[in-house]
Amino acid sequence: GAGVSQSPRYKVAKRGQDVALRCDPISGHVSLFWYQQALGQGPEFLTYFQNEAQLDKSGLPSDRFFAERPEGSVSTLKIQRTQQEDSAVYLCASSLALERSSYEQYFGPGTRLTVT
């Protein structure tokens, strides 16, 4: 019974580089969420998938951020032309139920991105 896994755990990027962060949700979980957590703050919602459909991307901070989940399981969060303000921990969470608002989310350990 593996939990949510994320890779890499740590990523250092030079400003202007593109990065790709991977999330492997719990098998069978329909819902997948990405959050961004700045140091000392609570996580902030980025985007949500139900299976392969991206139903909410209202939290993505700019058009440099792009997420996909093409086969309804693994998801990738891509950040183009990284900026220093993108430095944060990126958390992925998955949830079992289609009736999303009733169920807890299971979080991965996060990817800590540092942009230098």
**Contact residues for another protein (CB under 8 A)?**
4, 31, 33, 35, 41-45, 48, 50, 55-56, 59, 91, 93, 95, 100-110
In whole angstroms, the minimum distance from the beta carbon of 102 to another protein comes to: 7
State the alpha helices, DSSP H only, in the chain.
none
Identity of the residue, 80 or 100, whose beta carbon is nearer to another protein in the bound complex: 100
CB of 47 to another protein, least distance (A): 9
Closer residue to another protein (CB): 19 or 91: 91
- Minimum distance between the CB of residue 16 and another protein, rounded to whole angstroms? 27
Give the CA dihedral 6, 66, 38, 3, nearest 10 degrees: -20
Output the six-digit token pair for 43.
Answer: 């996580």
Nearest CA-CA partner of 94 in 78, 74, 111, 113: 74
Strand partners, 23: 6, 75
